[in-house]
Chains A and B, each alone.
Chain A
Amino acid sequence: SSDSIFYFDDAAQTKFLQDKPWVNDPHYFKRVKISALALLKMVVHARSGGTIEVMGLMQGKTDGDSIIVMDAFALPVEGTETRVNAQADAYEYMVDYSTINKQAGRPENVVGWYHSHPGYGCWLSGIDVSTQMLNQQYQEPFLAVVIDPTRTVSAGKVEIGAFRTYPEGYKPPDEPVSEYQTIPLNKIEDFGVHCKQYYALDITYFKSSLDCHLLDLLWNKYWVNTLSSSSLLGNGDYVAGQISDLAEKLEQAENQLAHSRFGPLMAPPQRKKEDDSQLAKITRDSAKITVEQVHGLMSQVIKDILFNSVSQ
């Protein structure tokens, strides 16, 4: 039964596309189910890009208010540090790939795109929002997934987010606070301006019976890898970047506090609250960085005790 999710019911999908239930409810899609295969392929692709953003498409289907991602494939797109744009050649590639896929008996449609934000978290930038709004206009149902390969390594779990944009001009109801994440200073502007134009979907994962078998076989590699890896070693640059970002934010907060030194008398309580929340964020960022570092150190100490302290 765990494999039934992989069955593609053409008639049901066609009927769903005709009914278009998402048209009347901008918040229609609430859940995303991603297959282990698609997740692995997206993470491996994102990591292969290093600090350069990469981009790809996801194939799958819909099931009520869930979008089900069954597979993913990379696009021949030149990314840079700040943007990924599927130039014309990628469009041609997309069409060819989808056509050949169907000929090979893979009926799933393209249900979204994914790209990476190396080191600065999973959210949609201004460019991402406009790209996604365009996709939602012409290619529904369409999902935007963002992966942060750098934070994946440091946090030891996949940093991934799935989003859908609201229609132009739509005012969303007050959003429940999603899991807190650090937004670098040089991106905070872009994040702040657009974060109300989209919402995050809940992500769950699924795997087939074959996946279970293969992952069990890989178990030996997994526990060895856990014992013989060190998040402190591989992530030096990223942590240094985070600490320097933190220092900049501290400086900025300090300057603002300095300006408002006479503020307490005149500054409205709102303003004071704002400064506090800004400092609170910075404190939380610093705690987050430190906790990850301490985790890394703990694993090193455990490894030292396990493998070095044995005396002949």
Chain B
Amino acid sequence: SLLRQVSSLLRRLPVIESGKFQDDFLMEYNDTLLITYLAM
């Protein structure tokens, strides 16, 4: 049962892969870099 739990855990990785997530993540990344740039 332990191994089954471990394999189901591994099957959950990567936790999210949608294209929309990439867009949102990069958007957030760029926003933060922009703030850093403005602060500089």
Tell me the A residues contacting B by CB distance below 8 Å.
232, 239, 243, 286-287, 289-290, 293-294, 296-297, 300-301, 304, 307-311
Contact = CB atoms under 8 A, between A and B. Distances in A.
A308 to B, nearest CB: 4
A304 to B, nearest CB: 7
Interface string B1-40: 0000000000001111100000001001100110110110
B25 A293 contact: no
Interface on chain B toward A: helix, strand, loop, or mixed SS?
A: helix
B13 A293 contact: no
A296 B32 contact: yes
A161 to B, nearest CB: 26
Given A286-B39, A289-B39, A300-B25, A294 B32 contact: yes
18 contacts: A243-B35, A286-B38, A286-B39, A289-B39, A290-B35, A290-B39, A293-B32, A293-B35, A294-B36, A296-B32, A297-B29, A297-B33, A300-B25, A307-B15, A308-B14, A308-B16, A309-B14, A310-B14
Given A289-B35, A294-B36, A300 B28 contact: yes
Interface on chain A toward B: helix, strand, loop, or mixed SS?
A: helix
Given A297-B29, A300-B28, A300-B29, A307 B14 contact: yes
A131 B29 CA distance: 45
A310 B39 contact: no
B25 to A, nearest CB: 7
A78 B16 CA distance: 43
Contact of A308 (B17, B36, B38): B17
Contacts of A232: 28, 32
Contacts of B25: 300, 304
Given A293-B35, A297-B32, A300-B25, 8 more contacts: A232-B32, A243-B35, A286-B39, A289-B39, A300-B28, A307-B16, A308-B16, A308-B17
Nearest to B22: A308
Contacts of A239: 35
Nearest to B29: A297
B6 to A, nearest CB: 14
A260 B33 CA distance: 34
B32 A308 contact: no
B28 A308 contact: no
A293 B36 contact: yes
A39 B36 CA distance: 33
Contacts of B14: 307-311
A294 B38 CA distance: 13
- A-B complex: 3 closest residue pairs judged by Cβ atoms: A290-B39, A310-B13, A297-B32
